[in-house]
Amino acid sequence: MGGWASAEGNLGTALCRAGKYQEAVVVLARVLTAMKRVFGEVNALNTASMLAITFQQQGKFTEAEELQVWVLAAYTRLNGKEHPDTLATAGNLACTYSDQGKLAEAEVLQVGLLNARRRVLGTEDPGTLNAASNLAATYSLQGKHAEAEELRARALATSRRVLGIDHPDTLLYAANLAVTHINLGRLTKAEELQVESLAASRRVRGVAHPDTLRIARDLVHTYTKQGRDADAEELRVLYGGMVAVAYHMCPPPPTPHQEKRASVAP
């Protein structure tokens, strides 16, 4: 039974990563039921987490939330509030709340998660920076742009120092801070960050990478808000129309126990 469950669980994870979500749900749900029956709920938590992530990818947020609430309570009881599995599950649940528009619930979890990661991992750990980025995204959705700016500026400065200016996380944090500048009406600051980030993303990832296209799209948006229609059109032409479809490209596949990173949003 143990070998079968492991093999089937790996298959379900692989299907999810390949974007075959419905097939993944069938496999993972079967494994979860068997694991609970034979080994008990404690040994089924990892499978439940992966199934919840698959539900997230399908937009089935109620089903994802139900599983994640259960898994979080179990990990908290078994391992404590600051165990890596507990923290990752809290981050996943916060993302599910955010996807449903439950921003107050997401904020409570994310504040606790950020404080815990700072305490356990330190302020410069990538997981801590990611937690700050996700909390900033929630603040932004709530219209708390000043709070979002403080978190995003700190995350960017730390990422530049620790990871380097061309690291993918650094480019993401710069793009997100630029969006906050736009929300605060600071278009010149937003433009400076976006021009710098676009050049770095082109150099590191290539012209056609989804993140490069997202940054270019945001810069087009900034140029348009500044009334610089010629510059906006030039950028559209340069990217051959790809900017318009950048947001419809698939994100990286998920992995168990890893909260998703806040994406750039206008």
Model confidence pLDDT, tens digit, residues 128-170:
999 999 999 999 999 999 999 999 999 999 999 999 999 999 9
> Is the pLDDT reported for residue 261 higher than 90?
no
- The per-residue pLDDT for 125 is 94
- The per-residue pLDDT for 5 is 65
> Is the pLDDT reported for residue 19 higher than 50?
yes
- The per-residue pLDDT for 208 is 86
pLDDT band at 259 (very low <50, low <70, confident <90, very high): very low
Domains 1-122 and 129-266 belong to one CATH topology: yes
CATH of domain 129-266: 1.25.40.10
pLDDT tens for each residue of 156-215:
999 999 999 999 999 999 999 999 999 999 999 999 999 999 999 999 888 888 888 888
What is the torsional sign of CA 16, 263, 58, 46?
positive
> Is the pLDDT reported for residue 247 higher than 80?
no
What's the gap between Cα 142 and its chain centre?
A: 17
- The per-residue pLDDT for 43 is 84
Write the class of the CATH domain 1-122. mainly alpha
Tokens found for residue 238? 């340069």
- The per-residue pLDDT for 37 is 87
Instruction: Please measure the distance between the N-terminal and C-terminal CA atoms of the chain and give it in whole angstroms.
Output: 49
d(C-alpha 152, C-alpha 209), whole Å: 23
pLDDT band at 242 (very low <50, low <70, confident <90, very high): low
- The per-residue pLDDT for 256 is 36
pLDDT band at 239 (very low <50, low <70, confident <90, very high): confident
Helix H, strand E, coil C: the string for the chain is CHHHHHHHHHHHHHHHHCCCHHHHHHHHHHHHHHHHHHHCHHHHHHHHHHHHHHHHHHCCHHHHHHHHHHHHHHHHHHHCCCCHHHHHHHHHHHHHHHHCCCHHHHHHHHHHHHHHHHHHHCCCCHHHHHHHHHHHHHHHHCCCHHHHHHHHHHHHHHHHHHCCCCCHHHHHHHHHHHHHHHHCCCHHHHHHHHHHHHHHHHHHCCCCCHHHHHHHHHHHHHHHHCCCHHHHHHHHHHCCCHHHHHHHCCCCCCCCCCCCCCCCCC
- The per-residue pLDDT for 10 is 85
pLDDT tens for each residue of 32-82:
998 888 888 888 899 999 999 999 999 999 999 999 999 999 999 999 999
Domain boundary assignment for the chain: 1-122, 129-266
